[in-house]
Amino acid sequence: MNYSLVQHRDKMKDKVDYKPTKYTSVKNMRLIDPEDRLKALADYGTAVDIDPNIPPRRYYRSGIEMIRMANVYMEEGSQENAYILFMKFMTIFLEKIRKHPQYDTVPVKDRATNQQKLREIFPKAEALKKQLLAQYKMEQIKYLEDAKKREKIEMERLKREEEQRLKDEEDRKNKLAARTAANAAKAMLGTTSSVTDQDIVAKKPIVTRPQSPIKDIKPPRTEEKAIPEVDRSTKPRLLDKHALRDVILPNKAMTEFLLLASRNTMLNKETCGILAGRLERNKLLVTHVLIPQQTGSPDSCTTHKEEDIFDYQDQHNLITLGWIHTHPTQTAFLSSVDLHTHCAYQLMMPEAIAVVCAPKYQDTGFYTLTADYGLDFIANCRTSGFHPHPTQPALYTVAEHCKLDSMALINMVDLRK
């Protein structure tokens, strides 16, 4: 193991323990500390594990796609997302992948390419770390300044309300004292008529205010100051591990895929393809459907020559976003074999979707393994072939993050020819 690279990666992580804190006042602002935020970002990127059931070469392919996405994030100015991907890449290929039981089967060429990528991203990641730290410091200053302004204005408002309350209380006491004095004078004179408030005012002018509950007292509008809006972009954000980017899928993808699969469908054979595309403005756009060489049966499909897919993706700078396949005679759902197939995709790309086309029933399903249960359950299931799974809790669900686009174009690439 290249320990100098590992040490370099570890130096990029802050050593302060990360403990979430609420930001309720200026005095309770620990979480916006720049060092804490950077540490949280690094921890998020390094929280990755290796599944021994997924071939190591799949991880090496995923690593190439991580770098592609990180470069897009860099170009779009999304430094945080780029930094997370760099940290994930370094964690996988500096320590985790070496524990894979099939690590020795990784081709020398793939290892050499991977080492070159590691050497390239170290300076990029280090530069990103410095930029983010500087950015967080500026955001901290701005956020605290805004919070202090709001706190000062709030204190002034409370002070005005208290002064108004005291003034009204004094007026009430004066009025009560005047009424008491008037009644005493009446008793001394032995008169039988009652003294009204108008009599009191006539004898001794006393300025009074309409009495109202304290809670209804408001300071004059002329004295109010506008409370400045806080720039929400400077407020620290907690990372949501289950937050998924949208996957934009052209409607035409399913129509054109079914046309290519029609011959197999007539022969009662499944057809499968790979969904590939690009990252743009933090959305994953499906731009290609790659049909690899394959053999199909009524309930399964096996791909061959994956290197053809890899070569095409490398040439066109594409990332894998999921897969699509047909159910010639059945409805749209994920079988036990489908669940295991999709697990490998989703472990590599959390947003990966599984599209199932059921032409006989004119039905199409867009699925993903449930993040809180299904993904871990299938990843730890060691049974192969078709086998029963529990139905509750649900192992998969509708991919709500998959958005259909009726205007987007799709490239169908049939590698079977």
DSSP letters for 372-387: TTHHHHHHT----SS-
Helices (H), 53-107: 56-76, 79-91
Regions of the chain short of the pLDDT cut 50: 1-3, 14-30, 192, 195, 197, 199-210, 212-220, 222-225, 227-228, 230-238
Tokens of 32: 């916006």
Q: What is the pLDDT of residue 242?
A: 57
Q: Which domains does the chain have, with CATH numbers?
A: 1-241 (1.20.58.80), 247-414 (3.40.140.10)
Q: What is the pLDDT of residue 268?
A: 94
Q: What is the pLDDT of residue 9?
A: 54
Query: Which residues are within 8 A (CB) of 231 and not within 5 positions of it... i.e. 6 or more apart?
Result: 142, 143, 146
H or E element at residue 407: none
Whether 281 contacts 76, CB under 8 Å? yes
Burial string for 152-169 (b: 16+ CB within 10 Å, else e) reads: eeeeeeeebeeebeeebe
Report d(CA 346, CA 58) in Å as an integer. 12
Residues 331, 321, 311: CA angle, nearest 5 degrees: 115
Tokens of 386: 């078709």
Whole-model pTM: value is 0.69
Whether 389 contacts 373, CB under 8 Å? no
Tokens of 208: 């009074």
Report d(CA 413, CA 333) in Å as an integer. 25
Q: What is the pLDDT of residue 62?
A: 92
Q: Pairing mode, if any, of strands 353-358 and 283-291?
A: unpaired
Amino acid occupying residue 326: T
Helices (H), 214-305: 251-266
Report d(CA 205, CA 119) in Å as an integer. 89
User: What's the pLDDT tens digit per position in 230-277?
Assistant: 444 444 444 555 589 999 999 999 999 999 999 999 999 999 999 999
User: What's the pLDDT tens digit per position in 21-80?
Assistant: 333 334 444 457 899 889 988 998 898 888 888 899 999 999 999 999 999 999 999 999
* 3-state secondary structure (DSSP) of residue 26: coil
CA–CA distances in Å: residue 182 to residues 176, 276, 334: 10, 92, 91
